[in-house]
Structure 1
Amino acid sequence: MPAKHGILKLTDILLMNGELLMTVYYKDLTYYSLHHFENAQNIGWINGVNVYKKGIVSSDFIENLRLYTIKSFNEIRGNVNCSLCSDKFTTLGLSEIRVISKDGKNKYASPSMIIHYVTEHHYCPPEEFIRAVIDGPKPGSNEYQEYERRYNIECLWGESDEIIDNSEKLRNGIINNDRKMINDNSTLCNIITKDGSLINVAIKSGNVEMVNDLIQLGADLNKFNGIELNNAVLESENEIVKLLLSKNIKIDVSTPKLNPLFTAIRKGNYDASKLLLENGVDAKIKYTNEFMKDMDAVTLAKHCKQDSIIELLEKY
């Protein structure tokens, strides 16, 4: 289940037969939110359940990609199995890499296991990532070392001083319900904060009017693949859930952890469950992984002893 306010923790790395198994999944080119919110696009967070693109990549790309595995980010001690071939054991999976585009405008976040996915499972990343790996600054270069130096929470994981200052100003503006200040800075409505998107800050504050203001100003509801919907459900901010659904936020059901209906059931949030079902969330989707087999919404509700939600689900 996602941690409070949307950050997914290492419960996405599961224990099976005494060994760690990498199961986390994010769609390519969504934005990073595993350990914290970061202005880096996800690449290569695949598993044995969700479909991923396969293809042939150049040896030049593979050789350059290997260079990034020498510098680990967000490293956790231990070894991990590949969920695509659990008989193979590797030390790569419990750390990450960061790749920067040649012009410095884009950053990419990948599990270090990506080199294994590419060479052993024919995973083919997006072309823009391939170009960044080949042409972008490499670990050890001055540019990359400067990025490493700024990779901390105070610098919002590699952002410039200008972005940091604007981010905190707008974050405080939302917390203080300064709608005029937010409106006057509408061009920054998609800026990253330490709490994720500005919409996520408004959700944490329970401010439905501010969420609506941000949407009207052009905030991207799906920068983090619709995680704000899950967060609103988790916070029991059901008026915000209703608003987000009316604005066609992405409903991510790729994993049980990200499925907002599953979050509503675990939370015992009947009203959110009803809203999600009314807006087309499929209660019959079943999940199978190391901890569950053919788990659908009704089965989960029974497990959580949510009797009123069980009655609701049986109507769909």
Structure 2
Amino acid sequence: MTYYRDLTPYTYGSDDWDLAGRWQGIPLLTVGWLSRGRRYAKGAPPAGLAEALKRMARTHRAAQTRGRHVCPWCSLRLFGPRGDIPWGSAEIRVMGDDLAYVAPELVAHYVEAHRYLPPADFVNAVLSSGTFS
């Protein structure tokens, strides 16, 4: 998966899939595009964050790909069934104030299993999102 430092402009893919133009003109910032060998903020997540991100992985999906991205830390395991390695194939997008955050579908796993602590503005946008659509 491509690495981006948090809160940098999203440049990963084209928005050809966005036929309705929902994201046109809205600045997109990256969150949670982690990579092995790169440092990331760690800490205890606010209550409900991982659960909200899991819901958003179902309701806020965007840019579905045909391939899979596996967790760079869990994929190092050399034993156990292959089905226990988390993977993702899409993004989630979360509206903030006059911008949107783009995160890989694995962001909930990173928060829950690897103590990733996303930027506060992203966390606030996720937790204050009353509708999951």
Aligned: 1:51 with 2:47: no
Report what 2:19 is aligned to: none
Q: SS of 1:62's equivalent? A: helix
Q: Which position in structure 1 is the counterpart of 2:64? A: 75
Question: What secondary structure does 1:46 align onto?
Answer: coil
Partner of 1:112: 105
Matched, 1:133 2:119: no
Q: Return the offset for 1:59.
A: 2.5
**Structure ID, larger Rg:** 1
Identity %: 30
Q: 1:26 — aligned with what?
A: 4
Cα offset for 1:62?
1.9
- Residue 80 of structure 1 and its aligned partner are, at CA, apart by 3.4
Contact 1:79 1:90 survives alignment (8 Å): no
TM-score by length of 1: 0.34
**In structure 2, what residue type is equivalent to 1:26?**
Y
- The Cα offsets for residues 89-136 of structure 1, whole Å up to 9 and x where unpaired, read as 234x220000112xx422100000001100010000011111000013
Root mean square deviation of aligned Cα: 1.9
The equivalent position to 1:100 in structure 2, one of 70, 75, 95, is 95
SS of the residue 1:69 aligns to: helix
For 2:127 and 2:102, locate their aligned partners in 1 and report how far apart those are by CA, in whole Å. 15
- Confirm or deny: 8 A CA contact 1:95 1:112 kept in the other structure: yes
CA separation in 2, counterparts of 1:136 and 1:105? 14
Unaligned runs of 5+ in 1: 1-22, 141-316
Counterpart secondary structure, 1:138: coil
- Residue 90 of structure 1 corresponds to 86
Deviation at 1:138, TM superposition (A): 3.0
Q: What amino acid does structure 2 have at the position aligned with 1:132?
A: A
In 2, Cα distance between equivalents of 1:107 and 1:137: 16
Cα distance in 2 for residues equivalent to 1:78 and 1:24: 13
Equivalences for residues 1-316 of structure 1 within 5 A: 23-36=1-14, 39-71=27-59, 72-86=61-75, 87=77, 88-91=84-87, 93-101=88-96, 104-140=97-133
Contact 1:44–1:111 (8 Å) recurs in 2: yes
Stretch moving more, 79-88 or 66-75: 79-88
Moved over 6 A (4+): none
Structure with the largest fraction of strand:
2
Higher relative contact order (CA 8 A, sep 6+): 2
**Taking structure 2 as the reference length, what is the TM-score of the superposition?**
0.77
Relative to its length, the structure with more helix (as a share) is 1
Decide whether the 8 Å contact of 2:62 with 2:91 is kept in 1: yes
